[in-house]
Every structure is written in structure tokens, then in C-alpha cells.
Amino acid sequence: MNDSSAQVLNKNVGRTKKLKSTTSFVIPYIVWMALFLVVPMGVLVFLAITTYDFSANSEVHFTLSNWDYVFNSSYAVNVFWPCVLRSFYVSFIVTVICLLIGYPVAFFMTKIKPKYRALIMIFLSLPLWCNQVLRIVSWRTIFEILGTNYNEYYLLNIIIAMVSMYMPFMILPIFTVLEKLDYRIIEASYDLGCSKLQSFLKVTLPLSLGGIVSGVIMTFLPSLTSFEVSDAISYNTVLLLGNLIHARFHGTGGYNIGSVFSIITIVFTVVGFILVLKVDKEGETLI
Amino acid sequence: MAKVLVDLKNICKSFDEMEVLHDFNLQIMENEFVTLLGPSGCGKTTLLRMIGGFDSPSSGEIYFDGKLLNGVEPNERPINTVFQRYALFPHLNVFDNVAFGLKIKKLPKDEIEKLVMDALKQVHLEDFAARKIDRLSGGQQQRVAMARAIVLKPKLLLLDEPLAALDRKLRQDLRYELKDMQRSLGITFIYVTHDQEEALTMSDTVVIMNEGRVLQIGSPEMIYNEPETRFVANFIGESNIVDGQMIKDNVCMFEGVQFPCTYKGFSKNEEVDIVIRPEDFLIVDKDKSKLTGVIDSKTFQGSIHEINIIDIKGTELTVHTTKDYPLGLEVGLIVDPENITVMKKPGVNVYSGVMEADQMVRISDDIILETDSELEEGTEVVVRILTQDVLLDDIDESDFEGIIQDIKKRDMYYDVYIKTGDKTIVSSTSKVHRVGETTGIWVKREKVIVNVEEDVENE
């Protein structure tokens, strides 16, 4: 071995050493993730393919009967899948409303002076400092005052509460993209003959697509899996996906079926995030 | 005679009380290549944006082809822009970027395709039509920006530092291409740059700007050979600027040596600035010239040697020569009469004053000014304010006020004599004032030059 290659080798040794020393910084996080994400996921999968019952500490039998129940039983047909559909329906409506209100707000925020922008930011983020359950319960109080706190209005009430809760998650990613947009590109479109509307449709809107997709996913997914809103607002009478899972784990037994529900929900979520990352490769709009 | 295409009349522009353009007047002819040249912050980009319609003047009119352009939206102006850093649409490919304006005009598809491909051919990018913007080099992006603007066949093209982001070699190549394109298309170009080399090589007319004002307008040769102010001489190329006197018509003197020159009309022994370009000095034997000095330092710069010569009185002169000379050699310098530029010294108000607390200086009971000087309270000082830095404004916006006593017309401006208490202050301005008028007077704090009295005596 000659001198120069020895030097290269030494350099590499140095580099791995350096790498090792910084790697140690993430160890606590990796341990945390392993304990509270990977292990529970394993438990979920285990429960979903066995008949093991925690409370009885029963024998372990591997089976697909849980999946058969969720996909083929009359319970599945009459309760679970209609409930999934309802959840998608509610999330869809919530997302559309958030987008229709949120985009103009985000757009407006880029047009005003920084101090007013900061004020809107405070209004957007201030509610997040207050406990979520409290915010939902206070919505129920508002509906009581409005006189709409009964059966016919529950679905509407849930949608209103969800819109208010998830609005910041729609506005912020869209605002982030719009704010980064080079004003010269917009001016270039005017320069080439665009009216204000044409410029918006042909330049601003396509260039903010990344923010829209992030906003949509970050509104859609939490609405899809939320259980506490329907729980508090409709006294658990309007069942959503989250409520079914909650009931399985909170009530007696049924962990195995609940695990199957959870895994199905996780699949929806993962597909959602893959979609975001397809549009927004650097993940810069995610908060 | 060429037709006036763009006529800028008395343009003023302020942003939040910061004045960026001051009573700006300029006419641009059809098919002219005009360059606005100046250091950053001189107002050149603001001016371009006002012609493009992205900013509006605080006062004054912009005429295009005889029609008033104020208030016309940018999309309704027959003008296109090549933006700084190009501002290409990142979500569209090369073809769609160039086709953008044509699609807005709703031209038929086959016509768009033909025009776009023609424009791409003109900028040598015909093979890149389907390329994404972020897959292009800086030079290629610049060409797309050009194609996108010229495909609409505007009468006037605005270019905002289009070459600034490119490396030196590419910049030089593109200069010629731009000039050729301007000639072959027959479009008027208004080109903004801070690069004097670019301005000199490409333009028909160069407009030199500083602090929101025109300093000089002329052909590149004129600007280079006959700078009218110290700023222009310094900004355009390298210059030796030395103090001198006009002995009589066609004779000037500097460093104690008389030289023939081609300037007339100065008063006898008037103090002037003398400008000589480094390449205009000729080095000769020391006994062949009265102006002699010792070679103090030299650097080799490729095609030329830059030699610094210390004159007997300690003045340093820079000479460019193709021949090498040894350090320490005593040599003589001669210069052709045509190569000596004589400039009037800028007028200056000189007062004695006393420093007060909080960086204020008192000139008289009526005149107390802010200054950057941090001299102690009570220090006796000499205050100098160039007449061009004395600004006249509304009384309530100003530092102090006075009554106009006299107005003298100079070449490009007026000298206005204003009496405030027992002091007279002179202001050089292009605005018209009347004798007897009361005016507010205002000086930027960094323009109030304060020296301790002893320093001045030593000078």
C-alpha cells in the first residue's frame, strides 16, 4: 500500500468516527420510536392475526378470522364499511370547506404588511395552545346556545367543529408556498400580457399546488381518524372510523378486531403521505 | 431624424420618504440601445420598473410613442421585460415558457408553434424545447428569458441586469449576442447594469446615474473620454484625478507643471480637477519631461503592466503600459493635450462651527445640523457641504429655511444662493426657483463633512 491510499484510509477512519459521535445524538429518539411506534405496530399486527386476548391471557392461535369478520360479516356490511364511508364523506366535506376558506386567507396573508400577517398567524395558532378536548366541548356549548345541539344537526355540528380545528393545517402550508413564490415570476406573467385572474390561474395556482396537496392531506387525515369530535358533539351517536376503533379498545375485549380497523386506517394514512411526498419532494410544506 | 420612443418627464419617486429618483428626465429614440449605468441603489432598476408598469412614479409623466403611459397596467403595455434572475415559470418547460405570452394572446396553435421555434432558434435553443427549466444552465435560462420576451415582438425591451448571474466568459459572449439581436430585430433596448464594461461595449447611449439623478448622458466614447464629474471619471474605468489650475485658455497646470490642453472658458487660475486615464500617460526619459517620478510598485495584468509612479510631491499616479520598467527608476511622464480632461470642481459651502451634544454641529444660531461625526461637544470644527448635497424642499420637511438671494445658471443646473440669518448657503439644483422665494433647506446627515480645525490647516 502506498502513502496516499493510506492517507485516504485514515481519512475514512476519521469520518466514520465523526459519524459515530453524532449518531449518538439520535439514539434517544430511536429508542423512543422503537418503544412507542415499532413495538406497538408489532403488537397490532400480532393481535390482528391471532385470537390472543390480553385480559384473559389466553392461548395464541394464528387465524385470519378477524379479517374475515371485518370484510365479510353482516357487522362489516351494516356497521363498519358504512362508517368508513361516512368518515370519508365527513373528511371530504371538511377538507373542501377548509380549502375554499383557507386558500383565500393564505393568499391574502401574502399581500399584507408583515405586522398584520403576524397578527393573523397569532389568531391561527392561538387556539392550538388550548387543549383540543376543551375546544371541542366549547363548540358543543356554542351549539347549545344556538339551539342546534340535537340529533338532526349532529353531523353538521361535527363538520363545523372539525373545520375550525383543522383550518390552520390547511392555511399554513399554502401560505408557506405562496410566500416563497418569487414576485418577479408573477410580474413576468403580467409583463407577458396576463390579467390578474389569468396570472392567478396560470401561474400562482399551479405553483402553489404543493401547498394545496399538503394542506389537503393534513386536513383530511386527522378528520378521517378523529374520534373525539363526534364523541363530544354527538354523544357518540354519529359513528366515525375513529369511534369504532376507540370503542374496541376502550370497551371490553375486541382488541383483535380493533387492530384490524387500526391497520386499515394506517394504510389510508400511509397512502396519503406517499401522495404528499410525490407532489412535494423536499417535504418543505409539511409542518 | 430618429423618433422619440420613450419620453420620461420630471420623474420623481420616493419609497417611505426615501427619495430614489429626483426630477429625472430622459428621451430614448427608436432602435436605440440605451444603458442605465450606476451603482446599486442609484434608482436604475426603479426607473425600469416604472417603464414596465410595476411601479408608478410619485410625480412626473412617462410617454411611450407619444401616449401617456401612467396608470396603464403592465399587461396592456407593448413592452416586455427580461427580469433579473430571469423569472422563468418553473412549472412549464422551455417551449411553454416561450409560448406563454402567445397563448395569452390566443393565437392559433400552429402559429404559436412556429413563432416559438423561430424564437428558440434565434437564441440557439431549438433542441431544448421539451427541457424542464431546472435542467438548464444559467446561460440557457437567460436565453429562454430572452426568447420569451422577443417572441412577442415588442417595440421596447427592458433588460434588468440580465447577465449579472453568469460567469465572466459567458457574460462576454452573450454581450455580443445581445447587441447582434438588438440590431437584427430592430427593437429598442433599455438595459440596466452596474457593470461599466457591459455598458461601454453594447450601448449606443449610456446614462450614468447616481443617487437618483442623471450625471451624464452620451455615447460610450464620450462618457469614457470626457467624464463631466469626478464620480463618472471614477465609475467608468480607472482614472488619475488630481488637483490642478487653469492658467489660461488651453493651458492647465498640475503637480507644478504646465500642460497644453483643449479646454477654454475657465476663469484665470481657477481650481479644477484634472482627469487622465492610466493608458494616456507615456513614460519617457526623466529629462524629456518636467513631470517626473519614481516607479513605486507594479503589477502584471496579462496584456498590460500597471505601474504606480510616485511623483515628487507624494501624489501617486497610475500608468498602464505594455512595456516593463524596473522598480525605483526615475522617469518622466508626458500626455497628449486631447487626453487631458478638465472638470470644474464641485461647489462647496465652508463654515466654521462648534460641535454640540448628540452629534449635532452648530454653524450659526439658525443652522444646527445632524452629522455622522462623533467629535466631543464644544470642539471647534470646519463644516463642508457640497452645493449638490444642499437639497431644497418644503419648509416643514426641512432642517432650516432661508430666502433665495440670487440664482446663477450653470451647464446642467442652477446655483441657488440662499440667505439664512447671517450665513449664505449655495445649492446646486436642476429645479427652477425664484429669487425672493422662501425655501426649506435640507442636508442628509452623512453629507455634512466635519473636520477639526487643525486638520484643515495641515492640508
DSSP 8-state secondary structure symbol assigned to residue A26: G
- With beta carbons less than 8 A apart as the criterion, state whether B73 and A190 touch: yes
User: Which of A184, A185, A194 has its CB closest to that of B104?
Assistant: A194
Q: Domain segments of chain A: what residues?
A: 3-48, 75-279
Q: For chain B, positions 62-101, list CB contacts with chain A under 8 A.
A: 73-75, 79-81, 83-85, 87-91, 100-101
Q: Count of alpha carbons within 13 Å of A6, Cβ hemisphere only?
A: 3
Check pLDDT > 60 for residue B457.
no
Return the closest-CA partner of residue B196 out of B183, B185, B182, B210.
Answer: B210
CB nearest A193 (choices: B54, B83, B101): B101
For residues B160 and B194, is the Cβ–Cβ distance under 8 A? no
B318 close to A (CB below 8 A): no
The amino acid occupying position A249 is: F
Q: Does residue A25 register a pLDDT over 70?
A: yes
| Amino acid, res. A282 | E
Q: B54, A192: Cβ pair inside 8 Å?
A: no
* pLDDT at B207 exceeding the cut of 80: yes
User: Among the listed ranges A28-32, B34-38, B347-351, B455-459, which one has the minimum average pLDDT value?
Assistant: B455-459
A7 has a pLDDT exceeding 50: no
Instruction: Tell me whether B317 touches chain A (CB under 8 Å).
Output: no
The residue among B280, B279, B396, B261 whose CA lies nearest residue B342 is: B261
Rounded distance between C-alpha atoms, residue B53 and residue B66, angstroms: 16
pLDDT for position A206: 93
pLDDT of residue A242 exceeding 60, the answer is yes
Assess whether pLDDT exceeds 90 at residue B95: yes
Residue A3 has pLDDT above 60, yes or no: no
Q: By the 8 A CB rule, do B101 and B151 touch?
A: yes
Q: CA B131 to CA B125: how far, in whole Å?
A: 10
- Residue pLDDT, tens place only, B398-407: 788 888 888 8
Residue B230, helix vs strand vs coil? helix
Count of C-beta atoms within a 10 Å radius of residue B212 = 23
Starting at the edge strand that comes first in sequence, how are the strands of the sheet with B400-409 ordered?
B391-393, B438-442, B400-409, B414-420, B423-429
- A150: exposed, middle or buried (C-beta count within 10 Å: 0-12, 13-18, 19+)? exposed
Q: Is B222 helix (H, G, I), strand (E, B) or coil?
A: helix
CA distances from B237 to B200, B230, B336 (A): 10, 12, 19
Distances (CA, A) of A156 to A86, A101, B399: 13, 17, 65
Phi, psi of B456 (to 5 degrees): -65, -40
pLDDT band at A282 (very low <50, low <70, confident <90, very high): low
The answer to whether the CB atoms of A189 and B89 lie below 8 A apart is yes
Rounded-to-integer distance, Cα B431 and Cα B438, Å: 15
Q: Residue B138, class by beta-carbon neighbours within 10 Å (0-12 exposed, 13-18 middle, 19+ buried)?
A: middle
- Nearest of B125, B122, B99 to residue B110 by alpha carbon: B99
Specify the pTM: 0.75
Collapse the DSSP code of B54 into the 3-class scheme (helix H, G, I; strand E, B; otherwise coil) and give the result: coil
Q: Is the minimum CB–CB distance between B50 and chain A shorter than 8 Å?
A: no
pLDDT digits (tens, 9 = 90+) for A72-84: 988 888 889 999 9
Q: Is B330 helix (H, G, I), strand (E, B) or coil?
A: strand
Which residues are registered as beta bridge partners of B207?
B36, B217
Q: Are residues A185 and B87, on separate chains, in Cβ contact within 8 Å?
A: yes
Interface list for chain A against chain B, based on CB atoms closer than 8 Å: 182, 184-185, 187-195, 198, 202-203, 206-207
Ramachandran angles phi, psi of A280, nearest 5°: -120, 85
Among all residues of chain A, which has the CA nearest to that of B84? A184
What's the whole-number mean pLDDT along residues A88-98?
96
In the predicted model, what is the mean pLDDT of residues B34-45? Answer: 92
- Using the predicted structure, report yes or no on whether residue A20 has a pLDDT greater than 70: no
Among candidates B80, B84, B105 on the partner chain, residue whose Cβ is nearest the Cβ of A191: B80
Residue A92's nearest CA partner among A272, A264, A231 is A272
Instruction: Tell me the residue type at B186.
Output: G
A202 to chain B: closest CA residue:
B100
Rg (C-alpha) for chain B, rounded Å, is 26
CA distance B101 to chain A (A): 5
Chain A hits for B50, Cβ within 8 Å:
none
Q: Over pLDDT 70: what percentage of chain A?
A: 89
Q: Which of B231, B235, B255 is nearest to B245 (CA)?
A: B255
**CB-based contact A190 B74, cutoff 8 Å:** yes
Summarize the confidence of residues B81-100 as an average pLDDT: 94
Asked if B105 lies within 8 A of A203 by C-beta distance, the reply is: no
User: A254-258, B53-57, B450-454: which has the minimum mean pLDDT?
Assistant: B450-454
Residues of B in contact with A192 (CB under 8 A): 75, 80, 100-101, 104, 148, 152
Chain A hits for B87, Cβ within 8 Å: 182, 184-185, 187-188
Confidence of residue A252 (pLDDT cuts 50, 70, 90): low
Query: Which residue on chain B is closest to A195 by alpha carbon?
Result: B75
Contact (CB<8Å) B148/A192: yes
| pLDDT tens-digit map of A50-61 | 988 877 777 888
Assess whether pLDDT exceeds 50 at residue A10.
no
pLDDT-above-90 percentage for chain A: 53
Pairing state of beta strands B205-210 and B251-254? unpaired
Contacts of A155-159 with C-beta under 8 Å, sequence gap 24+, read A155/A90, A155/A234, A155/A238, A157/A233, A157/A234, A158/A90, A158/A229, A158/A230, A158/A233, A158/A234, A158/A238, A158/A240, A159/A90, A159/A93, A159/A94, A159/A97
Is the CB of residue A140 less than 8 Å from the CB of residue A233?
yes
The one-letter code for the residue type at A90 is V
Q: What is the pLDDT of residue A9?
A: 45
**C-alpha cell, A42:** 408489532
Exposed/middle/buried for B222, CB within 10 Å: 0-12, 13-18, 19+?
Answer: middle
Classify A62 as helix, strand or coil.
strand
Task: Calculate the average pLDDT of chain A.
Answer: 86
Of A182, A188, A193, which has the smallest distance from its Cβ to B105's Cβ? A193
Beta strand B156-160 pairing with B188-193: parallel
CA dist list (Å): B184 to A253, B149, B150:
84, 15, 12
Q: Cα(first)–Cα(last) distance of chain B, in Å?
A: 52
Residue B205 has pLDDT above 80, yes or no: yes
Chain A positions in Cβ-Cβ contact with residue B148 (cut-off 8 Å): 188, 192
B396: helix, strand or coil = helix
Which residues sit opposite B386 in a β-bridge?
Answer: B348
End-to-end Cα distance, chain A: 51
B134 touches A: beta carbon within 8 Å: no
DSSP one-letter string for A180-230: HS-HHHHHHHHHTT--HHHHIIIIIHHHTHHHHHHHHHHHHHHHHH--HHH
DSSP labels, A125-157: HGGGGS-HHHHHHHHHHHHHHHT--SGGGHHHH
CB B75 to CB A206 under 8 A? no
Architecture of domain B238-344 in CATH?
Beta Barrel (2.40)
Over residues B331-350, the pLDDT tens digits come to: 999 999 999 999 888 788 88
CATH code for B4-230?
Answer: 3.40.50.300
- Give yes or no for a contact between B146 and B177, defined as CB atoms under 8 angstroms apart: no
- Over residues B22-33, the mean pLDDT reads 91
Q: Which three cell numbers stand for residue B321?
A: 503600459
**Where in chain B are the domains?**
4-230, 238-344, 348-458
Give the SS3 label for residue B114.
helix
3-state secondary structure of A38: helix
Judged by CB atoms closer than 8 Å, whether chains meet at A191 and B52 is answered as: yes
CATH fold label, A75-279: MetI-like fold (1.10.3720)
pLDDT score recorded for residue B45: 92
